[in-house]
Amino acid sequence: MPNRAIIIGTGSALPSRLLTNRDLEAMVETSDEWIKTRTGIEQRYIVGEGETNSFLATRAAKNALEMAGVRPQELDLIIVGTLTPDTPMPSVACLVQKELGAKKAGAFDLSATCSGFIYGLSIADKFIRDNRKMKILVIGSEVLSRRVNWTDRTTCVLFGDGAGAAVVTGTKEDRGILSTHLHADGALGDLLTIKGLGTAHPVTMEMLELGWQYIQMQGREVFKHAVKALESVAWEALNANGWTTDQVDLLIAHQANMRILDFLREKLGLTTDKVFINIHKYGNTSAASIPIALDEANRSRLLLPGSKLLMVAFGGGFTWGSLAMRW
C-alpha cells in the first residue's frame, strides 16, 4: 500500500458576536425573509473586541490537536488558508505557530479564497505521500467582517467569521485522501474581488472613496460560475475514483448559498441527508467554511471509519477544487 494522508483530528472556533438577519434589518434595507429565501442564511458570527483571525485559528487548531492526541511540538508544518490575515507579515500560520509553541513546524499562509482548505489539504497530502510520519496542521480561518462594507446590502448579509482545522498524518492502510483536483480561472477574477489594500492600490483617500477596501461581487455571475464549477469538479473526483454518486456517504461543499447547495445535490442526485449544511448558522466563512463543516460532521459522527467523503469548494480568483477520501 502506498502512503496515504488521513485526518486524525478536527476542530473549529467561532467568534463571540452573533449577528442575526433581524440585526441586519436595522443596519441596511433588507429583510430576514429576503436573506433566508435567497441564501439560506439565518445568522452569522463576527469578531468582537480582541478577536483576530490568528486567535480563531489557534483555538480551532487546539481543538483539532486535542482530538488527534498530537502535541504542538510534534507538528512538522502549519498551513493556513485565508484571505483575511491579521497582517501581511507575519502570516497567520506563523502567529499560530507561536501561540501553539509548535517549535519544529514550518508555517505559511495560502491564498486560494474559499478553496483554501482544499488547496491546503492537497499540499499536505503530497508531503505525506513522501513521508507518512509527518504531522501537518491545515487550517481555514477568516475575519471577513473586516472586509465587508456594512452599508452594502448585496454583500454584507452573506459573510461570517470563523476557523476550522484538521491534523493530517499518514497511514499504510487503504483509507485516507484518494484524490485532489485543483482549478483556477484568473480571467474571471474581477467578478469577486477586494481591489484595494494590496500593493497595487495602497491606502489613499481616493481608494477608500471608491470602496476598494471592501469585498465587491457580481453575485449573479458568481452564482452561475459556482454551480457549473462545483458540479464539474465533483464529477471529476467521482470519475477519478470510480465512485457512483450513491456510493458517496457525505458531501461537504463550500457553504456560500443554500441554492447552490440544492442545485449541486440535485445535479448529483444525492439525498438531503448526504449533503452537509450549516450555512444557516454561519453564513459564508470562505476558507473556514469546509473545515468548520468537517469538524461538525466528524463530531456528530456523520463520518465513520470507511465513510466515503467528497469535499468541493469554489471561490474568488476564481479557484475551485475537490478532495475525495475514505474516512
Binding site for ligand COA (CB under 6 A): 30, 34-35, 38-39, 114, 153-154, 157, 217, 219-220, 222-223, 226, 256-257, 260, 284, 314-315
User: Is 181 among the residues known to form the active site?
Assistant: no
The residue written with cell numbers 440535485 in the block is 266
CB of 153 to ligand COA, least distance (A): 4
Amino acid at 7: I
Write down the catalytic residue from 114, 156, 181, 257.
Answer: 114
CB of 231 to ligand COA, least distance (A): 14
96 vs 110, which CB is nearer to ligand COA? 110
186 contacts 310 by C-beta, under 8 angstroms: no
Write down the catalytic residue from 53, 254, 257, 298.
Answer: 254
CB of 174 to ligand COA, least distance (A): 34
CB of 12 to ligand COA, least distance (A): 19
107 vs 156, which CB is nearer to ligand COA? 156
135 vs 254, which CB is nearer to ligand COA? 254
CB of 220 to ligand COA, least distance (A): 4
Closest residue to ligand COA: CB criterion: 219
24 vs 138, which CB is nearer to ligand COA? 24
CB of 112 to ligand COA, least distance (A): 11
Give burial (CB, 10 Å; 0-12/13-18/19+) of 172. exposed
User: Is 183 among the residues known to form the active site?
Assistant: no
35 vs 288, which CB is nearer to ligand COA? 35
User: Is 225 among the residues known to form the active site?
Assistant: no
Neighbouring CB atoms inside 10 A of 246's CB total: 10
287 vs 303, which CB is nearer to ligand COA? 287
- Residues assigned a catalytic role: 114, 254, 284
